[in-house]
Amino acid sequence: PVLLALAAIWTYFGLAVPLWEYWGDADAESFRFIFLSPRNIYNLFMQSAVIATLAVGITVVLLLGDIDLSAAATAGVCAALLGVLVLAGVPSPIACLIVMAVGIIMGTAQGLLVAYIGIPSFVVTLAGLLGFQGLMQKILPTGNLNVGDPFIRGFARVLLPDALGWALAITCIVVFAWLNLRKQTQRKARGLELDSNTAVWGQIAFFSVLMLATVTTLNAYRSVPLLIVLLMAITVVVGWVTTSTPYGRSIFSVGGNPESARRVGINVKRIRVSAFAIVGLMAAIGGIFGASRFGSVSYTAFAGGSLLLESIGAAVIGGTSLFGGRGSVWNAILGALVIGSLGNGLDLSGASAADKLMFSGAILLLAVAIDAVSRSGTSEG
């Protein structure tokens, strides 16, 4: 579904809207495929990067059947702390490490309350959302802080040589194919139901085309930005951990049936705490990426805006079940592109902020409905 949604959105805004404008106005200047232009695709990827970073972390918690409503606020606190540390003279690399550690601590603290105290994750992270929003306002009394440090800004500004971009694209394709084929082999060894070869190779083929087309388009405008490379590298690591390690299998087991996981010796509480720690780390990285891209930290860009709902929406639209036990961090990236493409396309077509919210809500509701229907069909079967 996420691939179909992405294809439909790109077709609509990239082809249908320009054609309609052309037919409505004979002026040839209106016949411009702005949405699919290299410049706009570049901007689209950069706009979606922070959403995708948070969505990858949120996916890990959703796989357990939990949720983290404080991810965007955590990102905001970490971004604000980063700005304060850099202005105080702390070396930028050390400041980044500090805020990542802070993000892990914030996530771990919430995970402990969920796992060991037994408070529902919705309640814990809702309290965290409110508390972290207040903390960010304390750190940023004026609501905005400029971040002009070259190291921090470099994440979004540094561009790779074209040849290196191609090499990384091919590497990502090989790793993605290896992960998918390895997953099939592991499922076969454990006697589990296998995905069809058509589906597996179809995913690999689509990902390959997407990566090659992406690099071609980005190189046509400027080049592949370092920020996108870092995001892909992080996704590869998290994807490998969640699909090809005993820890990752434990996450899926706990999300599918916590009691059964406990009976086979999995430390369910520890898995839960670690998952929230991962979300905290990803939120901190998202805060760093956001500060780099915007060149500043503001309350509305993180804790007070739509970042949280967009990130959760990206994970769910990507096919991660809200009930746990099913999902993929790679699909969360595609979900972020769906959210980003929708907002970008509506902006280009002159839609209002209200229209953007309604369209995003409709797509999110559709994704959740598809998930609920598919689970209902599976349980009845």
Q: Indicate if the pLDDT at residue 379 is higher than 80.
A: no
**What is the pLDDT confidence band of residue 368, given thresholds at 50, 70 and 90?**
confident
Q: Return the beta strands (E) in 158-218 as ranges.
A: none
**Which architecture does CATH list for 2-158+225-373?**
Orthogonal Bundle (1.10)
Residue pair 286/53 in contact (Cβ under 8 Å)? The answer is yes
Q: What is the CA radius of gyration of the chain?
A: 21
Distances (CA, A) of 119 to 17, 59, 116, 126, 147: 48, 20, 8, 11, 37
> What angle do helix axes 268-294 and 38-62 make, rounded to 10 degrees?
160
What is the token pair recorded at 336?
A: 């972020």
Whole-number average pLDDT of the chain: 86
Q: Indicate if the pLDDT at residue 371 is higher than 60.
A: yes
Q: Indicate if the pLDDT at residue 31 is higher than 50.
A: no
**For 85-89, 298-302, 345-349, which range has the lowest pLDDT when averaged over its residues?**
345-349
Of residues 216 and 379, the one with the higher pLDDT is 216
How far is 160 from 51, CA to CA, in rounded Å? Answer: 22
Q: What is the pLDDT of residue 351?
A: 75
Q: Which residues of 249-263 are buried (b: 16+ CB within 10 A; e: fewer)?
A: bbbbbbbbebeebee
Instruction: Provide the β-strand partners of residue 45.
Output: none
Counting residues of the chain whose pLDDT is more than 90, the rounded percentage is 45
Would you give the DSSP letter of residue 28?
A: G
The CATH 1.10.3470 portion of the chain extends over 2-158+225-373
What is the token pair recorded at 35?
A: 């949405």
Tell me the per-residue pLDDT of 230-257, one tens digit each, with 9 for 90 and over: 998 999 899 889 988 899 999 999 988 8
SS3 25: coil
Length reported for the chain: 381
Q: What is the pLDDT of residue 30?
A: 44
Q: Is 78 exposed, middle or buried (0-12, 13-18, 19+ CB in 10 A)?
A: buried
SS3 331: helix
Tell me the per-residue pLDDT of 194-219, one tens digit each, with 9 for 90 and over: 778 888 888 889 889 888 988 999 99
Residue pair 76/330 in contact (Cβ under 8 Å)? The answer is no
**What is the pLDDT confidence band of residue 150, given thresholds at 50, 70 and 90?**
very high
What is the token pair recorded at 84?
A: 């304060």
